[in-house]
Structure 1
Amino acid sequence: MSKTNKRKKESVKDEKEHIVQAVMSKYFEKKKEEKISAIENDDSDHKETTHVVKKRRKVTNDDRNDRKWEPPHWKEHWENILAMRIRNKHLEPRGCDTIGDTITDDKIRRLHVLVSLMLSSQTKDTMTVAAMDRLLEHGFTVQYALDIDIDELGKIIYPVGFWRRKAQYIKDTCQILRNKYNDDIPNTIESLCALPGVGPKMAYLTMDFAWKSNQGIGVDVHVHRISHRLGWLPYDTKTPEQTRLALESWIPRDLWNQINHNIVRFGQTQCFTVKPRCSTCLNRNICPASTSKDTVKHLKQK
């Protein structure tokens, strides 16, 4: 073979290899982009689902019958919490569930319940109750709220958290009660949540305390925190509303209106945010978050 033909053949071969490499390079580059895109989509989906309540899985009994999820030992947890409320009664502050007990006019009593819950946000019960006692001394009604200067109202409810903003909420709410509800408070969750400064927790508790209507579980920081500690949630929740839905998925409805004030008192007297009293807690051997388990008893229970 002549040198010229040999060079031509080698040139053609090099060109073919170059084309193959270019094609393969594009192929692998495309695959890489697809892989990155898939990872990003998975990541995006994961980020979205962290803010959404996940679908709960059904649990199947040994006999193949479907039943709703429920946490182990929850009945014992609940009985112990009720027992500890009796034991720690002397440590409990007055709460919003006691507001209006001495008021005979139903409209005014319901108003005081609603306002006490509006004041209770990010405020200790002792401060909330003291503020409500001062409002009661001033003869607080819808008319009183409409007549009083906002600065004067602020002085009465001080030092509850965000007292200036709450004073405005109270005046705006009372104006709505005058215009739409004949000086009474609404009797539905939707209407209550439409009032200034009223969220779902307040609405469910208002329906319970003011209207004696069991519509749902009021979830505050205590209920949200302790539900996680006790393992009462079938999935991790990020917000109180997600916690409410998760709890309502398995807690018997006749207990819904008992959850908040019992769990809150448990959180105020026993299961503190920092340094909970695990050593004296009746649930110490059956609580997933306990730091004071009796090893021998715990092994026997398992």
Structure 2
Amino acid sequence: MPITRSQLRASVFTTTAKATSPSSKEITSKYFSSKTNVNETKQPNKSSLNETVTRKTTRKHIIIETEESSANINLSGALSSERSVDKLEKRLEKEPSKPPVGWEGVYNTIKEYRKNIVAPVDTMGCERLADEPSDDITLQTSRFQTLVSLMLSSQTKDHVTAAAIQNLRQKLPGGLNLDNVLQAEEKFLDDCISKVGFHRRKATYLKQTAKICKEEYNSDIPNTVEGLMKLPGVGPKMAYLCMQVAWKQNEGIGVDVHVHRITNRLGWCKTGKAGPEATRQSLESWLPRSLWQEINPMLVGFGQTICSPQYPKCSKCPVNNMCPSVTYNR
């Protein structure tokens, strides 16, 4: 089921607060970017009553890094995004969103194109990294591996995530499962995943998540979007993808930066400034539910190979004659 506005606020503002608080020095250097420039000029005689002090201060916005965003979001930007989501929700409540004109033709063309193009997500995507259940791998372990893959994938390229999962699988005594993560030292986990983005924070999240799953979910992972999003470092995209892959339940669309970017470029959504959560709500208001699961890997791979963030390969794009954002003269 779709998450509420309060849960969205929590995913934007409190994701990092769920982890064990690092030192104040680390917070300053890694979590925040704040700069104050001070220029002072004083008269040589400090005792003079006419002493003049000129102080010029320039303060930049404090920037918070979040696991679910591909870029840094400042506080005012986050509030603006939340307001945009609120407006979108109210509008969708009053009148159902109409599907964009011609979307099916564009969708089917991209889908057909992707059948012949192998992208990193097709072989190394986080939904493909867990071991299949077998005599040696329980269903619970397979689901836990899927969750770990998703947690490590944030702001990390697929091949780096795949290598980190392989490191954990090979270096953890007994392999990658919940109990072995619990028993391992956090520094050891950090060494295994050192190439992924925000690896120190994610090592902390892994330990905390394993403990929560052990104590509150009988050594399994949560089986609801709400439960998954209560885990440290897990946002909406991860929760919906985890439900689809680990629990085989289609609760919503997993919208990452690729899906967010491409659907706005195609004119399917007008949520560029509002963010991925607004894009998810917009898409779910008109896209058939049967397509909710396949749209993520389809568009992620399309973004990895053709519709990249910078310098998209419009001349090679199969829908360049239907895309309103094409960057070359037709």
- Tell me the TM-score range normalised by the shorter chain: 0.7 to 0.9
* Matches of 2:159 and 2:113, distance apart in 1: 21
2:240: which partner in 1? 204
Q: 2:154 aligns with which of 121, 124, 127?
A: 121
* Matches of 2:119 and 2:303, distance apart in 1: 14
Structural mapping, 1:41-190, within 5 Å: 49-50=83-84, 52-54=86-88, 55-56=90-91, 68-89=97-118, 94-104=124-134, 105-137=138-170, 138=172, 139-190=175-226
Q: Deviations over 1:78-124 (max 9, x none)?
A: 11211221222166551112122444221111001000000001110
Shift of 1:214: 0.3
When residues 67 and 102 of structure 1 are mapped into structure 2, their CA distance, relative to the original with a 3 A threshold, is: closer
When residues 68 and 280 of structure 1 are mapped into structure 2, their CA distance, relative to the original with a 3 A threshold, is: same
Shift of 1:140: 1.3
Identity across matched positions, percent: 45
Tell me whether 49-58 or 169-178 shows the greater mean CA deviation: 49-58
When residues 51 and 98 of structure 1 are mapped into structure 2, their CA distance, relative to the original with a 3 A threshold, is: closer
Q: 1:226 aligns with which of 252, 255, 262?
A: 262
* Matches of 2:148 and 2:92, distance apart in 1: 39
Q: Is the 8 A contact 1:97 1:261 kept in 2?
A: no
Q: Deviations over 1:232-257 (max 9, x none)?
A: 11565512111110110100111111
Q: Is the 8 A contact 1:100 1:109 kept in 2?
A: yes
Q: Is the 8 A contact 2:85 2:278 kept in 1?
A: no
Q: Deviations over 1:50-80 (max 9, x none)?
A: 463334479xxxxxxx974111221111112
1:96 partner amino acid: C
Q: Could you say what the CA RMSD is over the residues aligned between the two structures, in angstroms?
A: 2.3
Q: Which structure carries more helix by proportion?
A: 1
Q: How many residues align?
A: 243
Tell me whether 48-57 or 268-277 shows the greater mean CA deviation: 48-57
2:286: which partner in 1? 250
- Residue 247 of structure 1 aligns to a residue whose secondary structure is helix
In our comparison, the structure showing a higher alpha carbon Rg is 1
* Matches of 1:77 and 1:246, distance apart in 2: 17
- Residue 238 of structure 2 aligns to a residue whose secondary structure is helix
1:69 partner amino acid: K
- Is 1:288 the counterpart of 2:321 in the alignment? no
* Matches of 2:131 and 2:315, distance apart in 1: 36
Tell me whether 133-142 or 196-205 shows the greater mean CA deviation: 133-142
1:94 partner amino acid: M
2:238 partner amino acid: M
Q: Is the 8 A contact 1:284 1:292 kept in 2?
A: no
Gap regions ≥5 residues in structure 2: 1-79
Tell me whether 246-255 or 128-137 shows the greater mean CA deviation: 128-137
When residues 103 and 232 of structure 1 are mapped into structure 2, their CA distance, relative to the original with a 3 A threshold, is: same
Shift of 1:271: 0.4
2:302: which partner in 1? 266
Higher relative contact order, structure no. (Cα contacts within 8 Å, ≥ 6 residues apart) = 2
- Residue 87 of structure 1 aligns to a residue whose secondary structure is coil
* Matches of 1:49 and 1:123, distance apart in 2: 28
* Matches of 1:133 and 1:102, distance apart in 2: 14
1:99 partner amino acid: L
* Matches of 2:281 and 2:275, distance apart in 1: 10
When residues 235 and 99 of structure 1 are mapped into structure 2, their CA distance, relative to the original with a 3 A threshold, is: closer
When residues 224 and 180 of structure 1 are mapped into structure 2, their CA distance, relative to the original with a 3 A threshold, is: same
Gap regions ≥5 residues in structure 1: 1-45, 59-65, 295-302
